[in-house]
Structure 1
Amino acid sequence: MGRRAVRYEADCELWLWPGEKAAWHFVTLPPETAAGVRALVGGRTRGWGSVRVEATIGKTSWRTSIFPDSKSGSFLLPVKAQVRVREGVAAGDRVRLAVEILL
């Protein structure tokens, strides 16, 4: 018997973290979503506390990981350039995000 997929959906703001050598775009998961993810995965995380997910913004889905963020107490989802271009979104835009936890 396989596990039932757990999917979270939320409207989130895409934001830019300006690094020294590159700029990175992220979405911060809402606190209630982060709490659900923590309860679901328990201690079963990967390197740096990451959790594997399938993310969807608009019609674009991709496999990636979410990472814990001590500043917000939530998880961060990196959003790669290919997704931003396909969906026509940029930093400051609100996006409809779905994340399915891959255990």
Structure 2
Amino acid sequence: MSDTVTHRGTLWLWTGPEGTAAWHFLSIDGEAAKAIKAHEVMRRLEHGAGRGFGSVKVRARIAETRWATSVFPSKESGGWLLPIKLAVRRAEDLAAGDEAEVELELL
């Protein structure tokens, strides 16, 4: 059984030192972040160990585009970070600064 959460947020761009890398993310906070944390705690209790970086596997959907990925805990915000890959941004015509609603099936 899996849980599903939805969240609306703004895509933002993280750029590495010296501009060597760039990733687009959607930050997840509020009730959705609490639900992801509860799911992560239960999975850790069931399996005896957490996943790398404290991540949680998800099936994500923005509009008509679905993909498998993971969300990662954000130390700065206390919420979670969802990477939004290029294929998704192209399919849904999204860029940094755009707002999007995401549905996450927590696996």
The normalised TM-score by structure 2 is: 0.87
Question: In the TM superposition, what whole-angstrom CA distance separates every residue of 1:55-89 from its partner, at most 9, and x where no partner exists?
Answer: 11110000000000100100100000010001000
The answer for the alignment partner of 2:87 in structure 1 is 82
How far did residue 9 of structure 1 move? 0.8
The answer for the alignment partner of 1:99 in structure 2 is 104
Residues of 1 paired with 2:39 and 2:29: CA distance? 16
Tell me the secondary structure at the aligned position of residue 95 of structure 1: strand
Q: Percent identity?
A: 43
Question: In the TM superposition, what whole-angstrom CA distance separates every residue of 1:6-49 from its partner, at most 9, and x where no partner exists?
Answer: 11112110110111311100000122111111112216231010
Tell me the secondary structure at the aligned position of residue 31 of structure 2: helix
Tell me the secondary structure at the aligned position of residue 97 of structure 2: coil
Residues of 1 paired with 2:7 and 2:35: CA distance? 13
Residues of 1 paired with 2:61 and 2:16: CA distance? 25
The answer for the alignment partner of 1:28 in structure 2 is 27
Q: Summarize the alignment of residues 56-75 of structure 1 with structure 2, pairs less than 5 Å apart.
A: 56-75=61-80
Please list every run of at least 4 consecutive aligned residues from structure 1 whose deviation after the TM superposition is greater than 2 angstroms: none
Q: CA RMSD in A?
A: 1.1
- Partner amino acid, structure 2, of 1:18: T
Q: Is the 8 A contact 1:31 1:73 kept in 2?
A: no
Where does structure 1 lack aligned partners over 5 or more consecutive residues?
Answer: none
* Corresponding residue pairs, total: 99
Residues of 2 paired with 1:90 and 1:15: CA distance? 8
User: Is 1:46–2:51 an aligned residue pair?
Assistant: yes
- Partner amino acid, structure 1, of 2:15: P
